Amino acid sequence: MSNRKVSYFYDSGIGKFNYGGDHPMKPKRIRLTNDLITGYGLHSKMKIYPINRSTFEELSQYHSKDYVKFLKDVTPDCKEIFTKVLDKFNVGEDSPIFDGLFEFSQISAGGSVQGARKLNNGETDIAINWAGGLHHAKRSEASGFCYINDIVLGILELLKYHPRVLYIDIDIHHGDGVEKAFEKTDRVMTCSFHKYGKGYFPGTGSINDVGFNKGENYAVNFPLNDGMDDESYFYIFKRTIDIIMNYYQPSAIVLQCGADTLAHDPLGCFNLTLKGPGECVKYVKGLGKPLLVLGGGGYNPKNVAKCWVYETSLLIGETELSNILPDSNYFQDYPEETKLHIETLTMKNLNEKKHLDKTFFQILEHLKQIEPAPSVGTRTVPYETLKFEITSSEEEDELDKREEKGGYLLEEEEDDEDDEFSWDEEDNDFNLSSTIDYFEESYDQLPSFLLINNKIKKREKQKPILWIDNPNIAMKNRIQISLFNNINKFKHNSNKDNIIIIQREPEENIENKKKIEERGKVIEKEKEKEKEKEKEKEKEREKGNGGERGKGMEIEKVNENKIQQKQENIKEMEIERGANIEKEKQNRNQEEIVNGKGNVIGKEQGGIHENITRNEVNIDHKDKQYNMNVNENGNIDRMQILKENEKKMETGKEEMVNLNKNDNEKKNHEEQTISNNEKKY
């Protein structure tokens, strides 16, 4: 298909930009490329267009307005003012601020969007923008030397006309920014061939990274190892693209041609010559689809220029370029460079064929899971509805509410229970059941705001609501929305413009529900712990009660032993006293005999001797000696002894009573203590 129309987009100011003296990204490589294109005379075989630089609004079709405004306002001289947002937008050493940053981004994006429009309008078959291909940039973040993702903007432009777009990335680094933008939609399939391994930027692009929700299995990643050569590279490239074309059948293709896969690239680790990526470009051209060709990585400027001029020649159908470089204005800075083609390095190819085949068959299994074409939607879809599928964060989910001053309308809609959804049943273009099917896919991606016809509509509802104004017109224009699963209500108001409003439950409500559920789980765990503690306390109480009872019984036993011992002591005292009385009688009889009066003396003294009891004698138990009282005549005063002994006996009885009383009180006190402890536990 050598007769295909080719358009070439170039801005002569692109070479003046400089990331910094030591930075590997050199915009001058694009100027070197153009120098070789004109040197070989290829420009005469293409339609050349100066690039229309993208406007703020065009860049904001994908990127957040805050981020685009930052790029527009920041300069190296005033970057200190933006210190707080530099980290937020990931601007720093890899992606630095330099003079003309915003202008550079406008040129890069402008060529890609302009090329996509030419393809949509049928003005060209192939559009080339070597200043594009900056595939790492995210919606609100710079990454990997990329600030504005011109590829995403170009694809969005193609999607206004083409139902399915295939994106192919042959840069040595994974095309993470493009995959991220479209990972939730089936309208774009991304396919990246790249070095993948620990520590290699950007660290994404595993074979298992296949997309999400509606976009599941629409992201294809072919991870590769060091040393990849031309033969192996084209082998896996052709097989993979063949099966993708068979399963997906895209109506347009975007090809990113990063040249850092070449041997001698300071940031690369492959061993390709110009032939390797050249064969890939030639093969994609032969597929006959509208084709947008972009630049990308590549950090050996002279080799990058050689690669892209060679690929340009293949795209316009030039049979063979001379290996001798033509005279040029800028290549004279490299006087040692005289030949077009480059040599390989001496390095081992770590990509074994069996490993490549295994990866290929894994990809094939993923592709078998997608809906075969043409079941994938074939209708033209406005960008506003597609925006549901390309957003990927909380910030991305919500359109800029601060744009009220810019003419957008924020308004609350009253809920009218009587205003029911209606449509013309004879209008076959509108099908309620198929519309509901669209909404049963992925409710999680639904933003709180939707912009259509330059108006922002907002609903303060916790349940999702779909509102279609003038549904016949909406469906005739093929407004396709492939989102959420809980349809609450359809409403129609013919007095309004053709607007679709969709509201999901606010993020904070979802978060609060999660927190409540988590708190409930924590409370349940705490209750379980409290129950365990109660069981442990119960066991300790049982052990403690047993100990108190045992202690009480032991005290009671000791008290009984004390009482028994005292009773035995009293008995011994009584026995000893009786024995002493007997001895005292014997002594008295001996005294009577000594006095010669015998019993007469006893009688004269009133016979009281016969009434002397055992209590006459006071016994000292310590020395076992008698201590008897005598009167003034030297005789024993037995009456006095008797009285004293009786008094001592009474005292002994009182001591016994008090001892028993004290023992009983102690026993009662101990029993009361045990009882109180049992009640306490």
Closest to 116 measured CA to CA, from 139, 146, 150, 149: 150
For the record, the structure tokens of 570 come out as 């009293």
Handedness of CA 436, 438, 444, 450 (dihedral sign): negative
Q: Tell the residue number behind the tokens 């294109």, with chain if given.
A: 37
Distance between CA 232 and CA 236 in Å, rounded? 6
DSSP assigned state of 333: G
For the record, the structure tokens of 523 come out as 């409370």
Could you say which of 473, 489, 505 is where a domain stops? 505
* Claim to verify: residue 291 and residue 415 sit in the same structural domain: no
* Claim to verify: residue 232 and residue 329 sit in the same structural domain: yes
* Claim to verify: residue 440 and residue 358 sit in the same structural domain: no
* Claim to verify: residue 33 and residue 117 sit in the same structural domain: yes
Strands 47-50 and 465-468, bridge-based pairing: unpaired
Could you say which of 505, 538, 571 is where a domain stops? 505
Strands 291-294 and 252-256, bridge-based pairing: parallel
* Claim to verify: residue 363 and residue 402 sit in the same structural domain: no
Distance between CA 517 and CA 668 in Å, rounded? 57
> In this structure, is residue 538 part of a structural domain?
no
The count of other CB atoms within 10 Å of the CB of residue 510 is 13
Structural domain boundaries enclosing 423: 398-505
Strands 291-294 and 455-458, bridge-based pairing: unpaired
Do the Cβ atoms of 307 and 277 come closer than 8 Å?
yes
Residues of the chain with pLDDT under 50: 378-385, 388-389, 391-506, 597-635, 681
Do the Cβ atoms of 167 and 132 come closer than 8 Å?
no
Distance between CA 385 and CA 291 in Å, rounded? 24
Q: pTM for the complete prediction?
A: 0.60
> In this structure, is residue 647 part of a structural domain?
yes
Question: Residue 289: helix, strand or coil by DSSP?
Answer: coil
> In this structure, is residue 535 part of a structural domain?
no
What is the biggest distance separating any 2 CA atoms in the chain, rounded to whole angstroms?
Answer: 180
What pLDDT does 538 receive? 79
Catalytic positions: 136
Distance between CA 609 and CA 624 in Å, rounded? 24
* Claim to verify: residue 21 and residue 104 sit in the same structural domain: yes
> In this structure, is residue 270 part of a structural domain?
yes
Closest to 29 measured CA to CA, from 262, 303, 258, 338: 303
Could you say which of 505, 533, 560 is where a domain stops? 505
The count of other CB atoms within 10 Å of the CB of residue 234 is 19
Contact residues for 161 (Cβ-Cβ < 8 A; gap 6+): 120, 380
* Claim to verify: residue 186 and residue 49 sit in the same structural domain: yes
DSSP assigned state of 406: G
Q: Tell the residue number behind the tokens 């019993």, with chain if given.
A: 599
Q: Which residues pair with 260 in a beta bridge?
A: none
> In this structure, is residue 664 part of a structural domain?
yes
Q: Kindly report, residue by residue over 293-318, the tens digit of the pLDDT.
A: 999 999 999 999 999 999 999 999 98
- Element housing 465 (H / E): strand 465-468
What pLDDT does 448 receive? 38
Distance between CA 487 and CA 465 in Å, rounded? 6
Q: Which residues pair with 636 in a beta bridge?
A: 630
- Element housing 502 (H / E): strand 500-503
Closest to 33 measured CA to CA, from 132, 110, 174, 104: 132
Do the Cβ atoms of 314 and 282 come closer than 8 Å?
yes
Query: Into how many domains does the chain fold?
Result: 3
* Claim to verify: residue 195 and residue 322 sit in the same structural domain: yes
* Claim to verify: residue 361 and residue 404 sit in the same structural domain: no
Number of H helices, E strands in the chain: 18, 13
Strands 465-468 and 500-503, bridge-based pairing: antiparallel
> In this structure, is residue 393 part of a structural domain?
no
What pLDDT does 397 receive? 43
The count of other CB atoms within 10 Å of the CB of residue 675 is 12
Q: Kindly report, residue by residue over 616-670, the tens digit of the pLDDT.
A: 444 444 444 444 444 444 445 556 666 666 666 666 666 666 666 666 676 677 6
For the chain, the 3-state helix, strand and coil shares in percent, each to the nearest 5, are: 50, 10, 40
> In this structure, is residue 531 part of a structural domain?
no
* Claim to verify: residue 105 and residue 226 sit in the same structural domain: yes
Beta strands in 593-643, from DSSP E residues, in sequence order: none
For the record, the structure tokens of 566 come out as 């005292």
* Claim to verify: residue 402 and residue 363 sit in the same structural domain: no
* Claim to verify: residue 490 and residue 589 sit in the same structural domain: no
> In this structure, is residue 145 part of a structural domain?
yes
Do the Cβ atoms of 189 and 214 come closer than 8 Å?
no
